[in-house]
Amino acid sequence: MCLAIPARIVELLPDAQAIVDLGGIRKPVSLELVEGVALGDYVIVHVGYAIGRLDVVEAERQLAQLDELARVQGAAP
């Protein structure tokens, strides 16, 4: 099973790289597979690559679902 998660771009770097925020954790990702992303955009991240863009409403919906899943499984307070 593959898991791709929404993350917000918080810093654009040279060479099609960015730093994204994943629930307070910041990670570098490659932007090689997406075009036209900007600071503050949400992207879907899979194994270190942004593989698509999301609008804010959809990203927040997906993040809320992941939070609920974690809560139900006892991983979140």
Element (H, E) at 77: none
What is the tens place of the pLDDT at every residue in 36-46? 999 999 999 99
Question: What is the residue type of 65?
Answer: Q
Q: Alpha-carbon distance 71 to 77, whole Å? A: 7
* Side-chain-facing half-sphere of 52: CA atoms under 13 Å: 9
Task: For the chain, list the domains and their CATH numbers.
Answer: 5-72 (2.30.30.140)
- Span 7-33, average pLDDT: 96
As a whole-number percent, the residues of the chain with pLDDT over 70 amount to 94
The yes-or-no verdict on residue 4 having pLDDT over 90 is no
